[in-house]
Chains A and B, each alone.
Chain A
Amino acid sequence: MSSEVHTRFNRELHSFPGGLELKTHKELTNSKESLRTPLPDKIILPLQQHIGSPSETIVKKGDTVLKGQKIAQASGYISVPVHASTSGKILDIGTCQSIHIKSEQVPCIIIEPDGEDAWFELEPVTDYLSIDPEILQRLIYEAGMVGMGGAGFPAHVKLNEGTATAIDTLIINGVECEPYISCDDRIIREKADYIVSGTRMLQHAIQAEHCVIAVEEDMPEAFEALNALIDDDIELVTVPARYPAGGEKQLIKVLTGKEVPAGGLPIHIGIVMHNVGTAAAAFRAVTRGEPLLSRYVTVSGNVEDPRNLQVLLGTPVEHCLEQVGYHPRDDEAVIMGGPMMGKYIHDISMPVVKTTNSILVTSGFNRSREKPCIGCGDCVDVCPAKLLPQELFAYARAKDYEEVRALHLFDCIECGCCAYVCPSNIPLVKYYREAKTDIAIYEKKQAGYEHARHRFEARSERLDRIENRVDDRFDKIKTLSTDQDPVEEDKQSYIRAAVERMKQKKNKKKD
């Protein structure tokens, strides 16, 4: 069966530049059945779980909500709604710890579950392969769907742009290249039918010519699960296990040999890519009417029973860790995401969000001190974006942001390959991230200056205009007064009249 599929398509694979062969550690979790995480005491739903503008709350403190009920609406094109992931009472509309910046708090809605898990009214759609693609996109948008591979780009935007352009290939990405993470592997094995049907649905939604599902070569069970369900309408491809083969641009290169233009999007070369989790969730959203409320999360590393969990969005990380036996130690850190690109979380009360693919308890960091760059060029060899990490580092450290830009800092995908191999143990990605942040702040400020300059110019122009008008009026007044000043005239006559009155009074007294 599998050989037939291979011969039927015979897709030639390409290699992407750079990359690493990493120890995967997926055996810790990928053979264990996923578990549903019990309801936590508190559900924390941040208003921004996606790239774009944050959603806007449409509920009040004290409201009772049902599972699947919309509690925040999208606030623009690149934005999605948020739904209550269980039934209960709105405890507060407050803030929670940001995952990006330690000192930052982000707005969120906090729900106290009532334990009923009672559903809101659902509207399933069954004719998902024949309805108008635009309606399909609308349904996916209303379900709050975002890319579940990690970036969290609103799914409807990709679909919408897809119908606007002629799409050659839809790629469903099951290539989980980061070590430890196996949530895609697990969801494929457990929900292969959702993924295959979801893939067909997405293909219909964007009217793509070809359709490819890609998995990594170390996922044979997932491959077989999909292979049993697909027909010749979908190509199933295994790609070599090499980090970061699951990166969007890298996977496109591997599958098609095409390079997404620097600073561009896959859509520019007729390709749309979605994660396997997104395909499954989108299918569920349409055919069962259930918005995006839960996801697969790999909980691995230094825990008793590392495995995949099916977690309701908004569940605190702490609660997930409790399910697998977590005993905090001093030299450990809890990472959201994988060991190469994940984010260290300072506060484990932080919730699982739409993009959380993994919770990793890790230790054994390379603590050797940062040494000077010896220019070995190992980073150049592993960079998948074909950048010069050592030069970027030198300019980023010198804060020469113009040069850093010229060296394509913004094409850096922060995969971490350079820092991984650096013999001087330089945290290169940290430098790049700081440079990117600084540039963003500078540009915001610059935009502010620009705005202030415009305001100043507008103001001085207005003042000029007024002054001119005053001058005009003053000139007019002057010209009038040279003939005869009416005001002066009045004053004079008033004074004369007053003097006159005084004289009369005096005369009366004399009389």
Chain B
Amino acid sequence: MTSAEAREILLLYRPGTADSAEPEMAEALALARQDPELGRWFEEHRAFQKAISAGFRQIEAPAHLKASLLIRGPARRALVTPQVWWRRPVWLTAAATGLLVLGLAGIWLRPRIPDRFANYRSRMVGEAQLAYRMDLETNDMQQVRQYMASHGAPADYDLTRGLERLQMTGGGRLTWRSKPVTMVCFDRGDKQMLFLFVMKRTAVKDPPPETPQLAKVRQMLVASWTRGDNTYVLAGPEEANFLRKYL
């Protein structure tokens, strides 16, 4: 191996990796120990590699990216490996049947009383995080109101000044304990979404007060308040001045 050939090989040398285990690399390294000129070049090259590598590793992901991935991430149920039903153990099928019966019984026999607001809020945040689906995509609020009214969902909701300034992307009708919920989606302008959920205040035992209450729910920042007949939940990624910006 000549010095020039060794240089060519050592160019690809990375300390701390398995590269040096390759026979060619080992031979080139041995030559660098013997040849002063090659050795000097190699030392400089290593310093170069270290500096460039350090520069690359300084690249930092923006703070909002992770939250955005998790918020806008697709439905987690899609991540479960689909299994062919006939390959499942019989007892699993039996257990599933049992659970289904119990579940149906629970639904039929459950007391028809309003539930806790915290449960509703958590469910709505889950909708936003996992599988929100807009029934209509539009930036026309009137269209959303008409759609909600025609589908029995709250259409008389008030928008805060902060929300009025945002671009609306659409809306959807959801249900919670058989009660209709209006979902309105807003684009914050930085590729992140805000979700406003509106439901009649009588649907929960303990509606939030008129003054917006801020809470962190499932890695989202959520403001909740009641106005008139409606209770409101606004969910979005964590952000400083959340209340001041959107309420």
Chains A and B bind each other: no
Residues of A whose CB lies within 8 Å of any CB of B are: none
Residues of B whose CB lies within 8 Å of any CB of A are: none
